[in-house]
Amino acid sequence: MCLAIPAKVLSVEGTKAMVDMGGIRREVSLMLTPDVAAGDYVLLHCGYAISQLDEEEALETLRIMEEAGILEDALAPMEDS
């Protein structure tokens, strides 16, 4: 199963961003979402920010994923690398 995970953008440098997903930080591509800025929330899939979310939607999605028990599973491969 493929998931897209909400993440908060911490910083932007060109077409790359540093994001935070529940304490896990990753550098991701903004090639598909060039108007994203620090403080925004994005939906991540395979290292790419594929869309921008408002904060309320991002936090609600994370809450639902955690409640369903899929958030930890979705983040586990990121912690290993």
Residue 80 domain flag: no
Helices 55-67 and 71-80: crossing angle in degrees, nearest 10, is: 100
Tokens 């994005």: give the residue: 42
* 3 state SS of 33: coil
**pLDDT reported for residue 70:** 79
pLDDT digits (tens, 9 = 90+) for 13-58: 999 999 998 788 999 999 999 999 999 999 999 999 999 999 999 9
**pLDDT reported for residue 6:** 94
**pLDDT reported for residue 78:** 62
Given a contact cutoff of 8 angstroms between Cβ atoms, the answer to whether 23 and 17 are in contact is no
**pLDDT reported for residue 77:** 58
Domain that holds residue 22: 5-73
What distance in Å separates the CA atoms of residue 43 and residue 80, rounded to the nearest whole number?
21
What distance in Å separates the CA atoms of residue 1 and residue 12, rounded to the nearest whole number?
29
Identify the CATH number of the domain in which residue 54 sits. 2.30.30.140
Tell me the pTM.
0.83
Number of domains composing the chain: 1
pLDDT digits (tens, 9 = 90+) for 61-77: 888 988 888 777 666 65
